[in-house]
Structure 1
Amino acid sequence: MNEVFAPATLGPISLRNRVIKAATFEGRTPDALVTDELIAFHREVAAGGVGMTTVAYCAVAPNGRTDRHQLWMRPEAVPGLRRLTEAVHAEGAAASAQLGHAGPVANAVSNGGPAYAPSRMISPLTMRAMKVPDEAELREVVRAHALAARLAAEAGFDAVEIHFGHNYLASAFLNPLLNRRTDRYGGSLTNRSRLAREIACAVREAVGDGLAVTAKLNMEDGVAGGLTIPESLQVAVWLEADGALDALELTAGSSLLNPMLLFHGAAPRRSFAKVLPIPARWGFRLAGRAFLKEYPYEPGYLLERARHFRRELSMPLILLGGITDHETMRQAMSEGFDFVAMGRALLREPNLLQRIQADTATRSACVHCNECMPTIYTRTRCVFRPEQPGERLDYPAVTAARQNGTR
């Protein structure tokens, strides 16, 4: 059994432990460049004890952002990213850059460029038709991932994580409901997985053995007609055989169609209704309950799905979902998972891992209310942890906690 707090190897790099800060979009790049706030966010998490922190989201192209405020990888971004990696390294942690193209999750109006979708569809964000990229444009997407990976290496990152989840572009191509193409990138699973596999190989070729290369892969989309566990498992087998990746981080759900499958816990419908951009806000008021479903929270809630992958794959796997205490971490290690990833719990308590290491009975203060989700449109944060004096937090979970005398 792997020891959670022992040093570990991930491809060509060494980490001080087996806990990774999962990618959670920070909302701290208003000009699509690194800010002091973004650096402080990751420095705090690194100082809190994680082995590696993941910067999200580093789009590979301007139209690959979910909106114009997101960082995208170009030479102008490198100096700020280098300051960020230096700050993380100074705290003893490694730094990973999450690379990807938002595809149908992108807001074309905000970005000023076309949103890509595998097949013809209307964007739920803008109510406009999205662009179906041809094969030449897809080759450019692959090339953009490779260039972004090189820039990440130049900026001092130790690893890159390729986004193959949540129906972002590569994930949308895997989804047979969204991908109805008849060319080399559609139809059979072999064809639908082509884009992801080409991206992984291009990124590996770009960075060689200098960086660890991981990918966040959907185990299932959680949507009728979408990607299923058996299909995803076959894709994972192919990715392992290609030899481009050092590890897979296993996830689930669709930012377009079923985001709560990733999060579990309370569905923050009222809060989302207040902050979504128009016209998405109008649609959400009509279909919010169907869009934000509720899945009961329990520790390690994606573990049962992930076990299918652990049984069939020999490559390192990163378990995500409900990793908030030492007991769940130890269970993951005992079942053969090489790393665990934490997200929301570190928004509430950036030093949670230090506290767990000092006392393995420590429990996270995260209440799984998911009110952090709507804050991505301002600055991603736990609503129980104001970061500015006098900040007014008008969220249902906070109101309830005040009424119950727990805050």
Structure 2
Amino acid sequence: MVNDAFAPADLGPVRLRNRIVKAATFEGRTPEGLVTDELIDYHLAPARGGVGLTTVAYLAVAPEGRTHREVIVVDDRSAAGLARMAEKIHETGAKIGGQLGHAGPVANGRSNGVHALAASRMPSPLSMQMIRSATEADIARITKDYVRTARIMVDAGFDVLEIHMAHGYLLSSFLAPGQNRRKDSWNGSLENRARFARQVARAVREEVGDSAAVIAKIGMTEGSPVGFSMPESVEFAQLLESDGHLDALELSAGSSLLNPMYLFRGGVPLQEFAANMPAAVRLGMRTPVGKKFFKSYPFEEAFLREKALAFREAVSMPLIMLGGINERATVDRAMAEGFEFVAMARALLREPDLPNRMAADSDARGICIHCNQCMPTIYTRTRCTVIEPQA
């Protein structure tokens, strides 16, 4: 039986009104590291526009796990604002999810005032500092941080917890053999490299039980020879499924430090990115090496579909497909091919009410032109910069 994307569906213990997910993408609306009215309005737009679930991005589990200092750290200081946001989203009939993340090597240690962590010591292109290798004590502490964060979020009314295991963040920095150069039991076999991520998933599930859905965002490939990639990523998904702690996997790709455009197909706004970067990073981006870092990939509808199908064949647990989903026909095809949910990001930034249009019209398609001019705005309030009348 083919799923109806616009009928109610269960994500673990949580009932969603449909199978459309607003993916976690950086909002740029927390200048003091706290929930703001602007952040709530940002998520109210797709919630009112018809998504079943909207996901708040980059909720750091620890201060050094922020991408930069304006990111929310989930703690007693931010809990009241998170609860207020959850209440507002629930009033629309949508559910709310939060992305539990530790940015690891993607964190800007200079902005955060504390050095970033990774599986192995490495230089940071963001802070121009050395990123230190996580110790056994760090791993134990951060696992507890994930648990504490999960409890606060559930108590605040969040329905879904998304553990970030992709994009070069801390947990995924352990996965890639080209980045994990440790000499201890956290390196070697895939089972060893995956142990931290699996440990976090187990600890979070044990803490929240069935009071929330627990999912993970994983990277199918980072698009780099030294990054985590298929077929090991498929084996990683199978390990997560065998553990039984997760209700779904969201299938992503790319790496914030190795190949960021692999996930954002379409235009490459290099000049706009450079204008928002620190001076040293801006200078580096103007070199041939910097330009090569932002590779160009043409946009194609559902550009991660073929890779996602390999995961669909390998595991039976629910999967969330993302990557260039703009048309109702693509949503219907994803359901026919066995995916339980689809996630959208740029299309909803351009048109927050696109899910309602899709539900009403089988021929509906979004008007996002995939110029990616929205990407540099993450530093100044994420938004669509294209102003044009709807057709």
1:234 maps to which residue?
A: 235
1:223 maps to which residue?
A: 224
Q: Which 5+ residue runs of structure 1 have no aligned equivalent?
A: 386-400
2:381 maps to which residue?
A: 379
Separation of aligned partners in 2, 1:117 and 1:285: 27
1:21 Cα shift?
A: 0.2
CA contact (8 A) 2:5 2:18 kept: yes
1:265 Cα shift?
A: 0.9
1:326 maps to which residue?
A: 328
Alignment of 1:99-248 (within 5 A): 99-248=100-249
CA contact (8 A) 1:356 1:362 kept: yes
Amino acid in the other structure paired with 1:178: Q
Are 1:271 and 2:272 an aligned pair? yes
2:305 maps to which residue?
A: 303
Are 1:47 and 2:77 an aligned pair? no
Q: Deviation per CA, 1:250-273, whole angstroms, max 9, x where unpaired?
A: 000000010111111111111111
SS in structure 2 of the partner of residue 160 of structure 1: strand
The alpha-carbon distance between structure 1 residues 223 and 246, as it changes in their structure 2 partners (threshold 3 A), is same
1:391 maps to which residue?
A: none
Of residues 334, 337, 340, the one that matches 2:339 is 337
1:27 maps to which residue?
A: 28
Structure 1 stretch displaced more, 95-104 or 277-286: 277-286
1:406 Cα shift?
A: 10
Amino acid in the other structure paired with 1:140: R
Are 1:75 and 2:83 an aligned pair? no
CA contact (8 A) 2:115 2:129 kept: no
CA contact (8 A) 1:126 1:279 kept: no
Q: Deviation per CA, 1:274-318, whole angstroms, max 9, x where unpaired?
A: 111232212111133211111111111101001110001010000
2:367 maps to which residue?
A: 365
Separation of aligned partners in 2, 1:102 and 1:139: 16
Are 1:250 and 2:247 an aligned pair? no
1:348 maps to which residue?
A: 350
Separation of aligned partners in 2, 1:22 and 1:263: 13
1:360 Cα shift?
A: 2.1
Report the TM-score, using the length of structure 2 for normalisation: 0.97
Separation of aligned partners in 1, 2:97 and 2:275: 32
Separation of aligned partners in 2, 1:325 and 1:363: 4
2:262 maps to which residue?
A: 261
CA contact (8 A) 1:49 1:353 kept: yes
Q: Deviation per CA, 1:219-277, whole angstroms, max 9, x where unpaired?
A: 01110132121101111101001111000000000000101111111111111111112
1:186 Cα shift?
A: 1.4
CA-based RMSD of the aligned residues comes to 1.4
Amino acid in the other structure paired with 2:385: V
Structure 1 stretch displaced more, 222-231 or 298-307: 222-231
Q: Deviation per CA, 1:106-141, whole angstroms, max 9, x where unpaired?
A: 000110112001112100111111111111111111
SS in structure 2 of the partner of residue 318 of structure 1: strand
1:187 Cα shift?
A: 2.1
CA contact (8 A) 2:111 2:127 kept: no
1:313 maps to which residue?
A: 315
Separation of aligned partners in 2, 1:199 and 1:281: 35
SS in structure 2 of the partner of residue 276 of structure 1: coil
The alpha-carbon distance between structure 1 residues 22 and 406, as it changes in their structure 2 partners (threshold 3 A), is closer
The alpha-carbon distance between structure 1 residues 54 and 406, as it changes in their structure 2 partners (threshold 3 A), is closer
SS in structure 2 of the partner of residue 229 of structure 1: coil
Separation of aligned partners in 2, 1:49 and 1:152: 23
Separation of aligned partners in 1, 2:80 and 2:265: 37
Stretches (4+) displaced over 4 A: none
CA contact (8 A) 2:377 2:383 kept: yes
Corresponding residue pairs, total: 389
Amino acid in the other structure paired with 1:180: R
CA contact (8 A) 2:268 2:372 kept: yes
Separation of aligned partners in 1, 2:110 and 2:252: 28
Separation of aligned partners in 1, 2:279 and 2:5: 44
Separation of aligned partners in 2, 1:367 and 1:224: 30
2:13 maps to which residue?
A: 12
Q: Deviation per CA, 1:309-344, whole angstroms, max 9, x where unpaired?
A: 000101000001011111000110000000000000
Amino acid in the other structure paired with 2:364: T
Separation of aligned partners in 1, 2:199 and 2:5: 33
Separation of aligned partners in 2, 1:264 and 1:171: 22
Separation of aligned partners in 1, 2:227 and 2:59: 26
Separation of aligned partners in 2, 1:104 and 1:279: 18
Amino acid in the other structure paired with 2:148: L
1:44 Cα shift?
A: 1.3
2:282 maps to which residue?
A: 281
Separation of aligned partners in 2, 1:217 and 1:315: 14
Separation of aligned partners in 1, 2:129 and 2:361: 52
Amino acid in the other structure paired with 1:327: A
CA contact (8 A) 1:58 1:71 kept: yes
Separation of aligned partners in 1, 2:180 and 2:331: 36
Separation of aligned partners in 2, 1:359 and 1:119: 50
1:378 Cα shift?
A: 0.9
